[in-house]
Amino acid sequence: MLADDIQALVFDVFGTVVDWRGSVIHEASTLGLAKGIERPWAQFADDWRALYQPAMSWVRDGELPWTTLDALHRMNLEQLLEPYGLADLSEIELEQLNYAWRRLDPWPDTVAGLQRLRERFLLATLSNGNVALMVHLARWAGLPWDAILGAEFSQSYKPQPQTYLRTAEALGLTPEQCLMVSAHNNDLHAARRCGLRTAFVYRRTEHGPDQTTDLAPDSDWDVVAEDFVDLAGQMGC
């Protein structure tokens, strides 16, 4: 049984564990209401997220030195201020908006599923989020991690192999003893290339009601689960 070979579950966070899109829309809408700014805040969230991978690629390709995701989010936010009527925000308001990524709400099944899984397995992040971001997010969303690992610890962004390999190493485990949990097929492909076992969890509305990506597993992942509660059940928890 797969669960007998696994000692730790390591998680993608944005989209898999927490609802980044709905949360950012809420934060931006609340700010807009307070400032009297009317904009399509769902599009704002999508536009901000669209800058996520390009910004990390600057670090992966060596165009930027190591830069935390908090800092990359702020760089990306600066590009959206003028188009969305936010150019006059104070520094405190900008910082609070940027830190919306530290206040993302969990999916309804997340906490209950993690609590069950933690009864049997070590749980750690394997996220592109930096430590400060992940710690604040864990406190906000009630995420019971045993360790915050991933990008900042390895000084690399997924899908670079060291992001996965150093996470397993930090836990004192071989890659094969770790189960990578993600709602993103490309993340699981990268993890599998590094020797980790793989679990796909459906998040059909991560990108909103018209989502077209990651609606189904595209490979024979070790586990395919409807949500974290289903994952816990399949892992014997």
> Are both 2-17+107-234 and 20-102 of the same fold?
no
Q: Among residues of the chain, what percentage have pLDDT more than 70?
A: 100
- Find, among 18, 42, 195, 187, the residue nearest to 111 by Cα: 18
Q: Residue holding tokens 């796909």?
A: 200
Query: Going by CATH, does the domain composed of 20-102 fall within 1.10.150.240?
Result: yes
Q: Show the tokens assigned to 131.
A: 């430590």
Average pLDDT of span 200-229: 98
Neighbour count for residue 208 (Cβ, 10 Å): 12
Average pLDDT of span 122-145: 98
- Find, among 114, 180, 177, 172, the residue nearest to 142 by Cα: 114
Note the pLDDT tens digit of each residue in 115-133. Answer: 999 999 999 999 999 999 9
Q: Look up residue 14 and give its DSSP letter.
A: B
Supply the pLDDT for residue 1: 78
In the chain, domain spans: 2-17+107-234, 20-102
Tell if the pTM clears 0.85, that is, is over it.
yes
Is residue 3's pLDDT more than 90? no
Q: Look up residue 102 and give its DSSP letter.
A: G
CATH class of the domain defined by 2-17+107-234: alpha beta
Between CA 101 and CA 140 the distance in angstroms is 11
Note the pLDDT tens digit of each residue in 71-100. Answer: 999 999 999 999 999 999 999 999 999 999
Confidence of residue 111 (pLDDT cuts 50, 70, 90): very high
Note the pLDDT tens digit of each residue in 165-192. Answer: 999 999 999 999 999 999 999 999 999 9
94 SS3 class? helix
Average pLDDT of span 44-69: 97
Q: Show the tokens assigned to 57.
A: 């690629």
Label residues 48-63 b or e (16+ Cβ within 10 Å = b): bbebbeebbeebeeee
Q: Residue holding tokens 């700010």?
A: 31
Between CA 189 and CA 86 the distance in angstroms is 38
**CA-CA-CA-CA torsion sign (119, 221, 52, 66):** positive
